[in-house]
Chains A and B, each alone.
Chain A
């Protein structure tokens, strides 16, 4: 088990964003974390990546407590936040080099070039990021999230705003990462196509509570993911 979440609670000024969350993620999963806007997906990711602290509950990532050992967690994970900004005055190569320098094990020049090739930015490494399209920036964000060869990768709405080809490319990249490099992927999304195509296990969150979790095929049964999602997230479906 690479992630274990028990009774996670987070409140913002009296508003309960997470209300006793429980779920697990296994090694090698592409885990879909679904929920409507405001359900608590981003807050959950921020707690799991040791960026914010929960009010109560336990979170273990690869056996490390995110509150007591945040740096140990950050060494083995990485993430692409939903509204990831870029140092637009840097080139793609400089951007990756900068983040690589923040880790104990720095990526070599070849590693960075290889990574840019993997995400399809080969030949564009010397261009300023401000000249990149949205899809190219998203690929660069994924390259940045892979700079430390993470065991566990968190992606928050990674295909939002991309055209069909951009989405397909990201899907292929994630499948490749999962199958060839055994990277566990925690994918937060409300795009059900993404879930259908990529995930083997899912959890659905609504009003800060997990309303369904398990293997995608078992949850779906003979229905569709869309039916399950709407049934689970309609008002009062807790």
Chain B
């Protein structure tokens, strides 16, 4: 129950504020522009529905991960810098309850972004193959990735105790994680691209989207990549638990 109250506080603080609304409006605007371009631009509109769906799914996942990292970086370090965490630690809520409340709020954030993106996914992917399967994979893998990156960023925030440094490292991690998007198809086939693809949970997610939406491959083809993402999720949660339990003033 204490977790629920802390989560409610976090949601009010981070989501139901002008800052929160800015993120969501920005999400809507960018998705609107992307969808409009996909449907009207003469070159982009030559892509089949599956390709368009795949591209917009990548973007939504990247946005969810980015916002999760930003909110995670603020979670502990922000409270320490604002001097509010001591009162929270003085309450009978233990560190696990506080951490779960904060992580729950990060997930709520992803939930809102996912709901905002649904109409765009339906418009862009309408008439194409694997639309619903793609959305289901986005919901599951997106959630796992947001947990992974938010938990990592929160753990970092608890260890470093500096919002600025947590943010810088989180952005660096985001750039590394998002590198498959920034690399061209040729670069991704080099040894560097292959290594990144292998160890990067974000790359595993987008390769899964590719396989499911464009190549129409079944779950048996995805098991390896999904398992790697799950592994990263557990690793991040472990890191968060360890960092939060060691957090001292």
Do the two chains bind? Answer: yes
Which residues of chain A have a CB within 8 Å of any CB of chain B? Answer: 46, 49, 51-53, 71, 74-75, 77-79, 81, 83-87, 89, 98-99, 101-104, 141, 144
Docked complex Cα distance between A102 and B94 (Å): 10
Partner among A53, A74, A83, A86 whose Cβ is within 8 Å of the Cβ of B90: A74
The CA of A144 and the CA of B79, in the complex, are separated in Å by: 17
Q: In the bound complex, what is the Cα–Cα distance between A101 and B136 (angstroms)?
A: 36
A104 with B92: CB separation less than 8 A = yes
User: CA separation between A53 and B95, bound complex, in Å?
Assistant: 14
Residue from B9, B83, B86 whose CB has the most chain A CB atoms within 10 Å: B86
A46 vs B86: C-alpha distance in the bound complex, in angstroms? 9
Chain B residue numbers with a CB within 8 Å of A79 are 86, 90
State whether B83 touches A83 (Cβ < 8 A): yes
B43 CB contacts on chain A under 8 angstroms: none
Complex contacts, A101 vs chain B, CB 8 Å: 1-2, 5
Q: Chain A residues near B5 (CB, 8 Å)?
A: 98, 101-102
Interchain CB contact under 8 A, B84 and A99: no
Contact A86/B84 with A46-B249, A51-B90 known, Cβ cut-off 8 Å: yes
Query: Quick one: given A89-B13, A89-B17, A101-B5, are A51 and B89 in contact (CB under 8 Å)?
Result: yes
A85 and B2 form a contact (CB under 8 A): no
Give the shortest distance, in Å, between B91 (CB) and chain A (any CB): 4
Query: Told that A85-B83, A104-B92 touch, could you supply 15 new A-B pairs with CB distance under 8 A?
Result: A51-B86, A53-B248, A74-B90, A74-B91, A74-B92, A75-B92, A81-B87, A83-B83, A84-B83, A84-B86, A87-B13, A89-B13, A99-B91, A102-B2, A141-B87
What are the 5 closest A-B residue pairs judged by CB atoms, nearest first? A85-B83, A85-B84, A102-B91, A101-B5, A81-B86
Establish whether residues B92 and A52, one from each chain, have CB atoms under 8 Å apart when the complex forms. Answer: no
B1-20 interface code vs A (CB 8 A; 1 in, 0 out): 11001100100110001000
Complex Cα distance, B9 from A226, in Å, reads 45
Q: Are A52 and B249 also in contact (CB < 8 A) when A79-B90, A84-B86 are? A: yes
B93 within 8 A of A: yes
How far is B89's CA from A184's CA once the two chains are assembled, in angstroms?
A: 21
CB contact list, B159-191 vs A, under 8 A: none
Whether the pair A51, B2 counts as a contact (CB closer than 8 A) is no
| Docked pose: A101 CA to B94 CA in angstroms | 14
B2: chain A residues within 8 A (beta carbon): 101-102
Give A84 to B84 CA distance when docked, in angstroms: 6
- Closest B residue to A75 by CB, please name it: B92
Interface centre among B1, B94, B249 (most CB of A within 10 A): B249
User: B17 contacts which chain A residues (CB < 8 A)?
Assistant: 89
Contact residues in A for B94 (Cβ distance below 8 Å)? 71
Chain A residues with CB below 8 A from B79, complex form:
85
Bound-state Cα–Cα, A79 to B86, Å: 9
Nearest neighbor of A95 in chain B, beta-carbon distance: B87
Could you tell me the distance between the alpha carbons of A52 and B246 in the complex, rounded to whole angstroms? 10
Q: Which of B12, B13, B90, B248 is most buried by chain A, counting CB atoms within 10 A of its CB?
A: B90
Q: A85-B83, A98-B5, A102-B5 are contacts. A49–B13 as well, Cβ < 8 Å?
A: no
Nearest-neighbor residue (CB-CB) of A101 within chain B: B5
- Smallest Cβ distance from B130 to chain A, in angstroms? 43
- Cβ contacts A to B, 21 pairs, < 8 Å: A49-B90, A52-B249, A53-B248, A71-B94, A74-B92, A77-B90, A78-B90, A79-B86, A81-B83, A83-B86, A84-B87, A85-B86, A87-B13, A87-B84, A89-B12, A98-B5, A99-B87, A99-B91, A101-B2, A103-B91, A144-B87
